[in-house]
Amino acid sequence: MKISYHGHSIVKVETNGKTLLFDPFINGNELTDLEVKNEKPNVIILTHGHNDHVGDTIEIAKQSNALVIAPFELANYLEWQGVKTHPMSIGGAFEFDFGKVKLTQAFHGSSYTTEDQQMIYTGMPAGVLLMVEGKTIYHAGDTALFGDMKLIGERHPIDLAFLPIGDNFTMGPEDAAYAAQLLQAKVVVPIHYDTFPPIKQDPDAFVKLINGGEGKVMHAGDFLQL
Protein backbone atom coordinates (compact mmCIF):
# COMPACT_ATOMS: atom_id res chain seq x y z
CA MET A 1 0.00 0.00 0.00
CA LYS A 2 1.37 3.40 -1.02
CA ILE A 3 0.40 6.50 0.96
CA SER A 4 1.40 9.96 -0.24
CA TYR A 5 0.96 13.50 1.07
CA HIS A 6 0.21 16.47 -1.16
CA GLY A 7 0.06 19.60 0.98
CA HIS A 8 -2.53 20.99 3.41
CA SER A 9 -4.72 17.96 4.25
CA ILE A 10 -4.49 16.05 0.97
CA VAL A 11 -3.60 12.39 1.39
CA LYS A 12 -3.63 9.74 -1.34
CA VAL A 13 -3.86 6.02 -0.61
CA GLU A 14 -3.25 3.43 -3.32
CA THR A 15 -4.48 0.02 -2.20
CA ASN A 16 -6.14 -3.08 -3.58
CA GLY A 17 -6.07 -1.65 -7.10
CA LYS A 18 -7.90 1.51 -6.00
CA THR A 19 -6.83 5.12 -5.50
CA LEU A 20 -8.39 6.99 -2.57
CA LEU A 21 -8.01 10.75 -2.27
CA PHE A 22 -8.67 12.61 0.99
CA ASP A 23 -9.74 16.29 1.05
CA PRO A 24 -8.53 17.28 -2.46
CA PHE A 25 -7.95 21.03 -2.07
CA ILE A 26 -5.78 21.62 -5.17
CA ASN A 27 -6.70 24.88 -6.93
CA GLY A 28 -5.74 27.71 -4.59
CA ASN A 29 -3.32 25.50 -2.66
CA GLU A 30 0.21 26.74 -3.34
CA LEU A 31 1.73 23.85 -1.39
CA THR A 32 0.36 20.98 -3.48
CA ASP A 33 2.12 19.19 -6.30
CA LEU A 34 -1.15 17.94 -7.83
CA GLU A 35 -3.11 19.21 -10.82
CA VAL A 36 -6.85 18.66 -11.00
CA LYS A 37 -6.77 17.47 -14.62
CA ASN A 38 -4.41 14.63 -13.72
CA GLU A 39 -6.36 13.20 -10.79
CA LYS A 40 -8.42 10.08 -11.51
CA PRO A 41 -9.20 8.55 -8.10
CA ASN A 42 -11.72 5.78 -7.62
CA VAL A 43 -12.80 7.22 -4.28
CA ILE A 44 -12.73 10.65 -2.65
CA ILE A 45 -13.08 10.83 1.13
CA LEU A 46 -14.05 14.14 2.75
CA THR A 47 -13.71 15.00 6.42
CA HIS A 48 -15.95 18.08 6.36
CA GLY A 49 -17.43 20.81 4.20
CA HIS A 50 -14.97 23.69 4.40
CA ASN A 51 -13.74 24.83 1.00
CA ASP A 52 -10.11 24.06 1.79
CA HIS A 53 -11.10 20.39 2.20
CA VAL A 54 -13.90 19.89 -0.33
CA GLY A 55 -11.64 21.75 -2.73
CA ASP A 56 -11.94 20.36 -6.27
CA THR A 57 -14.04 17.34 -5.36
CA ILE A 58 -16.88 18.04 -7.78
CA GLU A 59 -14.64 18.46 -10.84
CA ILE A 60 -12.44 15.51 -9.96
CA ALA A 61 -15.38 13.21 -9.16
CA LYS A 62 -17.11 14.05 -12.43
CA GLN A 63 -14.01 13.49 -14.56
CA SER A 64 -13.12 10.20 -12.89
CA ASN A 65 -16.59 8.94 -11.87
CA ALA A 66 -15.25 8.66 -8.33
CA LEU A 67 -17.44 7.74 -5.39
CA VAL A 68 -17.42 10.48 -2.76
CA ILE A 69 -17.63 9.32 0.86
CA ALA A 70 -18.61 12.17 3.16
CA PRO A 71 -20.67 13.11 6.22
CA PHE A 72 -24.39 12.88 5.48
CA GLU A 73 -25.31 16.52 4.85
CA LEU A 74 -22.18 17.19 2.80
CA ALA A 75 -22.78 14.05 0.73
CA ASN A 76 -26.35 15.19 0.01
CA TYR A 77 -25.17 18.62 -1.12
CA LEU A 78 -22.58 17.08 -3.44
CA GLU A 79 -25.12 14.66 -4.85
CA TRP A 80 -27.26 17.64 -5.82
CA GLN A 81 -24.26 18.86 -7.80
CA GLY A 82 -24.27 15.64 -9.83
CA VAL A 83 -21.69 13.66 -7.86
CA LYS A 84 -22.01 9.99 -6.89
CA THR A 85 -21.89 9.78 -3.09
CA HIS A 86 -21.99 7.46 -0.11
CA PRO A 87 -23.22 9.36 2.98
CA MET A 88 -22.06 8.36 6.46
CA SER A 89 -22.37 9.65 10.01
CA ILE A 90 -20.05 9.75 13.01
CA GLY A 91 -19.58 6.38 14.67
CA GLY A 92 -20.77 4.54 11.57
CA ALA A 93 -18.62 2.19 9.50
CA PHE A 94 -19.07 0.60 6.08
CA GLU A 95 -17.21 -2.18 4.28
CA PHE A 96 -16.37 -1.09 0.73
CA ASP A 97 -14.70 -3.19 -1.95
CA PHE A 98 -11.34 -1.55 -1.14
CA GLY A 99 -11.59 -1.75 2.67
CA LYS A 100 -13.50 -0.39 5.65
CA VAL A 101 -14.21 3.26 6.47
CA LYS A 102 -15.38 4.52 9.85
CA LEU A 103 -16.10 8.13 10.80
CA THR A 104 -14.99 9.48 14.16
CA GLN A 105 -15.88 12.73 15.88
CA ALA A 106 -13.90 15.92 15.23
CA PHE A 107 -14.31 19.22 17.05
CA HIS A 108 -14.50 21.90 14.39
CA GLY A 109 -17.11 23.49 12.08
CA SER A 110 -18.43 22.38 8.71
CA SER A 111 -19.95 24.55 5.99
CA TYR A 112 -19.40 25.13 2.28
CA THR A 113 -19.26 28.66 0.87
CA THR A 114 -20.53 29.07 -2.70
CA GLU A 115 -19.18 31.52 -5.28
CA ASP A 116 -22.08 33.89 -4.55
CA GLN A 117 -21.12 33.86 -0.84
CA GLN A 118 -23.89 31.59 0.34
CA MET A 119 -22.90 29.41 3.28
CA ILE A 120 -24.27 25.85 3.09
CA TYR A 121 -24.48 23.84 6.31
CA THR A 122 -22.72 20.51 5.75
CA GLY A 123 -23.30 18.64 8.99
CA MET A 124 -20.84 17.53 11.63
CA PRO A 125 -17.11 17.47 10.85
CA ALA A 126 -15.42 14.09 11.10
CA GLY A 127 -12.19 12.20 11.32
CA VAL A 128 -11.74 9.06 9.25
CA LEU A 129 -10.46 5.60 10.10
CA LEU A 130 -9.46 3.68 6.99
CA MET A 131 -8.88 -0.03 7.51
CA VAL A 132 -7.19 -1.70 4.53
CA GLU A 133 -4.71 -4.53 4.01
CA GLY A 134 -4.69 -5.27 7.72
CA LYS A 135 -3.59 -1.71 8.57
CA THR A 136 -5.44 1.25 10.10
CA ILE A 137 -4.92 4.83 8.91
CA TYR A 138 -6.42 7.74 10.83
CA HIS A 139 -7.02 11.07 9.09
CA ALA A 140 -8.14 13.39 11.88
CA GLY A 141 -9.51 16.08 9.56
CA ASP A 142 -9.69 19.48 11.22
CA THR A 143 -10.07 19.10 14.95
CA ALA A 144 -9.20 20.30 18.41
CA LEU A 145 -7.66 17.96 20.94
CA PHE A 146 -10.27 15.79 22.67
CA GLY A 147 -9.98 13.09 25.30
CA ASP A 148 -11.77 10.38 23.31
CA MET A 149 -8.76 10.17 21.01
CA LYS A 150 -7.52 7.72 23.63
CA LEU A 151 -10.65 5.63 23.07
CA ILE A 152 -10.18 5.77 19.30
CA GLY A 153 -6.63 4.45 19.67
CA GLU A 154 -7.67 1.72 22.09
CA ARG A 155 -10.54 0.52 19.91
CA HIS A 156 -8.62 0.77 16.64
CA PRO A 157 -4.83 0.34 16.94
CA ILE A 158 -3.48 2.93 14.51
CA ASP A 159 -0.54 2.29 12.21
CA LEU A 160 -0.44 5.78 10.65
CA ALA A 161 -2.10 9.02 11.81
CA PHE A 162 -2.38 12.33 9.98
CA LEU A 163 -2.89 15.11 12.54
CA PRO A 164 -3.43 18.86 11.99
CA ILE A 165 -0.86 21.10 13.69
CA GLY A 166 -1.65 24.54 12.26
CA ASP A 167 -3.24 26.04 15.38
CA ASN A 168 -5.72 28.93 15.07
CA PHE A 169 -8.35 26.74 13.34
CA THR A 170 -7.27 23.34 14.72
CA MET A 171 -4.91 21.82 17.25
CA GLY A 172 -1.51 23.44 17.52
CA PRO A 173 1.73 21.45 17.78
CA GLU A 174 1.60 20.94 21.55
CA ASP A 175 -1.98 19.68 21.54
CA ALA A 176 -1.33 17.55 18.46
CA ALA A 177 1.67 15.95 20.17
CA TYR A 178 -0.56 15.09 23.13
CA ALA A 179 -3.15 13.73 20.68
CA ALA A 180 -0.46 11.47 19.23
CA GLN A 181 0.24 10.19 22.74
CA LEU A 182 -3.46 9.46 23.34
CA LEU A 183 -3.84 7.72 19.97
CA GLN A 184 -0.65 5.66 20.37
CA ALA A 185 -0.17 5.65 16.60
CA LYS A 186 2.94 3.93 15.31
CA VAL A 187 3.68 6.77 12.85
CA VAL A 188 2.35 10.35 13.03
CA VAL A 189 2.45 12.81 10.11
CA PRO A 190 1.62 16.53 10.57
CA ILE A 191 -0.88 18.12 8.17
CA HIS A 192 -2.89 21.35 7.82
CA TYR A 193 -0.08 23.86 8.31
CA ASP A 194 1.77 26.58 6.34
CA THR A 195 -0.97 26.94 3.71
CA PHE A 196 -2.18 30.29 5.07
CA PRO A 197 -0.43 32.87 7.28
CA PRO A 198 -2.42 32.04 10.48
CA ILE A 199 -1.33 28.38 10.37
CA LYS A 200 2.42 28.73 9.81
CA GLN A 201 4.24 26.08 11.85
CA ASP A 202 7.53 24.19 12.08
CA PRO A 203 6.72 20.52 11.44
CA ASP A 204 10.19 19.38 12.50
CA ALA A 205 9.69 21.02 15.89
CA PHE A 206 6.36 19.21 16.20
CA VAL A 207 7.96 15.85 15.50
CA LYS A 208 10.41 16.45 18.36
CA LEU A 209 7.46 16.86 20.75
CA ILE A 210 6.12 13.38 20.07
CA ASN A 211 6.57 11.01 23.00
CA GLY A 212 6.08 7.46 21.80
CA GLY A 213 5.63 6.47 18.18
CA GLU A 214 7.54 7.89 15.23
CA GLY A 215 6.96 11.40 13.91
CA LYS A 216 7.49 11.83 10.19
CA VAL A 217 7.42 15.09 8.21
CA MET A 218 6.12 14.59 4.67
CA HIS A 219 6.33 17.25 1.98
CA ALA A 220 4.12 17.42 -1.11
CA GLY A 221 4.80 14.35 -3.23
CA ASP A 222 6.48 12.35 -0.46
CA PHE A 223 5.19 8.82 0.02
CA LEU A 224 5.66 5.82 2.25
CA GLN A 225 4.81 2.15 2.02
CA LEU A 226 2.68 0.65 4.76
Range of the domain at 168: 2-225
Q: How many domains are there within the chain?
A: 1
Task: Tell me the pLDDT tens digit for each residue of 21-51.
Answer: 999 999 999 999 999 999 999 999 999 999 9
The CATH number of residue 144's host domain is 3.60.15.10
CA end-to-end span of the chain: 5
Q: Residue 172 has what DSSP assignment?
A: -
Distance CA 199, CA 5 (A): 18
* Distance, CA of 185 to CA of 104 (rounded, Å): 16
Pairing of strands 214-215, 187-191: parallel
Evaluate if pTM is beyond 0.95.
Answer: yes
pLDDT along the chain (226 residues), means of 10: 98 96 97 98 98 98 98 98 98 97 98 95 98 98 98 97 98 98 97 98 97 94 96
**pLDDT (tens digit per residue) in 80-95:** 999 999 999 999 999 9
